[in-house]
Chains A and B, each alone.
Chain A
Amino acid sequence: MKQTLMGNDAIAWGLIHANVDMVSGYPGTPSSEILSGVQKIKKMLSLPVYAEWGANEKVGFEVAYAGAIAGKRACATMKQVGLNVASDALMSAAYIGNLGSMLLVSADDPGFYSSQTEQDSRVFAKFARIPVLDPSTPQDAYDFTKLGVELSEKFKIPVMLRPVMRVCHAREIIEMDDTTEFKPNEGKFVRDVPRWGAVPRDGRFAQGLDQLERVEVIAKYNWDHFLKPQFDGCKGGELLIITSGTGYGFTQETLKDLGLEADVVKIIMPYPLPVKEIQACFDAYDKVLIVEEPYPCIEEQIAHPKVYGKNTDTVHKIDEMKKEEILKAFQKIGFYKGENIYEAPKIDLGFSVPARPPALCPGCPHRDVYYAIMKVFKRKKSIYPSDIGCYTLGIAQGAIDSLLCMGASVAMASGYSIADPSKDVVATIGDGTFFHSGIPPLLNAIYQGHRFVLVILDNSTIAMTGRQVTPSRVHQPIDIKKIVEGMGVECMEHHYSHHMHENVDFFKKVKEKYDQSTSGPTVVVVREFCILDAERASDFVPNIYVKVDEDLCVACDQCTTVYKCPPMSYNDKGKIEIDPFLCAGCAGCLEIVCPTDAFVVDENYLKKGK
């Protein structure tokens, strides 16, 4: 059956068509739509599938992996930095293995579109000594998902599927199974303490020996099933191109665009590789070029004097794949001597086009809360550690000084408070991130008596990745305030208001409490909403639209530098203007934001959707 699908939906269908009936994980761009896709299919076809988000990636992996130990076909989904969180579980699971099937989907983000690192999950698979499959297109993503589930069950070991953003978020017509005859698996835990409870040294040492042997067996499988058939069809000549994932599609198009011909081998499984067999094929060529992203995973395994790639400075080492980069690599090794057809004609517009830097959505309560925090805790006397989520975009307002990884704001607030006690440390973290990994560092700060302010921005959703549910929202709702109180400290609570003075007044109270405190964190939860949350936003947004009184606007830049709402910009008269199509009607700018009160209610404002 032909169907137009995005890569992540293709993976979701692949899981269902492979009879995977336990899926867990944690949202993270570009992986998020896989699990929500399974949830949609489950609902549509009323399938008996467990498909729920875990509290974090490690928890998600462990829930799924236990299912795989007990004979189920299971899958955990996450983004590449999420795998860092799950890695402790993965490294041991790679020794212990599984009876059913364990597919780990770790989606990479070459080009840093929405990630703090460009790390290559294939290298992580190599580190863990588990096989990894690298799809080139949504069609591959569907096929390799099914393949990965089968291989995991065959070799009794977790298998990784590593799609990149250009696969996850690509769209094409794919060919998939005509019907869905879903057969759930019977879960049956079989006691085998020496295996499931392997203890150092002897137990794990024995599993380590098995692991080494297994890697050899899988490398041979890789040769017999995926590589030999391709090498058998190769002609030999000037250049052999070995590629995987998106590199394959980019390479093929570049060759066509330039009218060049070369043997191209697509590596389906970048680890483990049958190194000797591959290297033996190099005899028929002058040079071998490796095209892969983002790290030289294949290149380092098959390093050889004829091999060119990132480590020989032939292929670009950072940023995502581009045909222009492959063209340049062809030039460097003398395979192409023509011009750069991917160079844009130089156009002088006579002015620079204003960028649209990342910003919080119009109407987002985070903006107002940051504004209020900065009104009370002044920049000069404060340090603002923050965290990973939509609220990271508060950096545009000057409301954030440092970012590291999920949950780090809390422990870094501890560290800053010790290192520079002359400053007020005010950390911000969202509710999703707090649940994910903000609780242990808060516990640490309380028992160590670290003095800082922690503001938990609770919009009751994981907003940045597409508004997945948080533990406060489903099943047995869990309240952040009670978690904090359970650790023995007060949790100040504030309900966000579009009357800015109420937010500012609240943070004045927070500062009073903090100033009086001598030890331990001052913890605050601000109840907010997400402006894009269809279920909740309409209960909170006042639909009060705003215009600018041009006689009052003195072009002081306050709103464009500290408040930073996307609809606000200067018009040709040098006055602030509000873009009617972007204003969300949140009324947040009516108080305090403008020193001359130039923002006024517009009764005749263009109403969206009317």
Chain B
Amino acid sequence: MKYQVVIAGFGGQGVVFLVKVLAICAGNRDIAFLGTENHGMSQRGGAVSCDIKIGDFTNPVIDKNQADVIIGLDSNESLRNIAFLKTGGTMVVNAKADYPSLPFAVARVDANAKALQGAFPIQGLNVYMLGVALASVKDFPFSIEEVKNAIMQMNPKVAQQNIKILQMAMNDCK
């Protein structure tokens, strides 16, 4: 298998958490992976993106025109990383309805609005968007069960809450 995912957002949104979840999914199935983080000097509120390459790779960086999926936790950050999405790839994004039309498959959800309405606490935005990716990307390399197991392994204390959010996203995308 060869599958490349870019996760883009800003510091505080839990970008790295998602990479860890996907890494555990790969590890549980004994598939090799390489991941890396791209961020500058700022911490909370600064641009962050992570690359994860699942399968037979020898360096952790995703080049332009190579990613199968981008998961954008923020609308602008998703667009600033768009050069990495390959022709035929999927953009999964948290954005308002005015998100521009792109020459890719786009799965757009206004997750900020849902959180503001109280559907889930904002710390769960990352997991919600992973749920959107699971529901809308046909060739996503992991099943919902695998992702749930990985979330359990990450931190059993908050796993139930996260799994609820993941399920909510899957239902919302039906």
Contact = CB atoms under 8 A, between A and B. Distances in A.
A170 B34 contact: yes
Interface in B103-142: 103, 112, 115-116, 121-123, 125
Give chain A's interface secondary structure class. Answer: loop
A608 B124 CA distance: 11
Contacts, number: 150
Contacts of B66: 342
B156 interface: no
Residue picked from B27, B38, B61, B65, most chain A C-beta under 10 Å: B61
Nearest to B52: A171
A580 B116 contact: yes
B46 A342 contact: no
A388 to B, nearest CB: 10
A67 to B, nearest CB: 33
Interface in A184-229: none
B23 interface: yes
Contacts of A324: 63-64
Interface string B2-41: 0000000011110000011001101100001111111111
A567 B12 CA distance: 12
A343 B64 contact: yes
A360 B12 CA distance: 13
Given A170-B35, A345-B65, A249 B58 contact: yes
A358 interface: yes
B14 to A, nearest CB: 11
Nearest to B51: A170
A169 B36 contact: yes
A353 B65 contact: no
A68 to B, nearest CB: 32
A27 B57 CA distance: 30
A4 B41 contact: no
A606 B116 contact: yes
Contacts of A532: 43-44
A328 to B, nearest CB: 12
A246 B65 contact: no
A451 B20 CA distance: 52
A356 B61 contact: no
A358 B61 CA distance: 22
A137 B34 contact: yes
A392 interface: yes
Nearest to A584: B44
A284 B90 CA distance: 46
Interface of A: 2, 4, 113-114, 136-137, 166, 169-173, 246, 248-250, 252-253, 320-324, 341-345, 347, 349-351, 353-356, 358-363, 390, 392-393, 464, 531-532, 566-567, 580-582, 584, 606, 608-610
20 contacts: A4-B24, A166-B59, A170-B34, A172-B35, A246-B59, A248-B58, A249-B57, A249-B60, A253-B58, A320-B61, A322-B61, A322-B63, A341-B65, A342-B64, A349-B100, A356-B47, A532-B43, A566-B44, A582-B44, A609-B123
Interface of B: 10-13, 19-20, 23-24, 26-27, 32-47, 57-61, 63-66, 76-77, 79-80, 82-85, 87, 100, 102-103, 112, 115-116, 121-123, 125
A-B pairs with the 10 shortest C-beta distances?
A: A249-B59, A566-B45, A344-B83, A361-B44, A249-B58, A358-B42, A171-B35, A170-B60, A344-B64, A356-B47
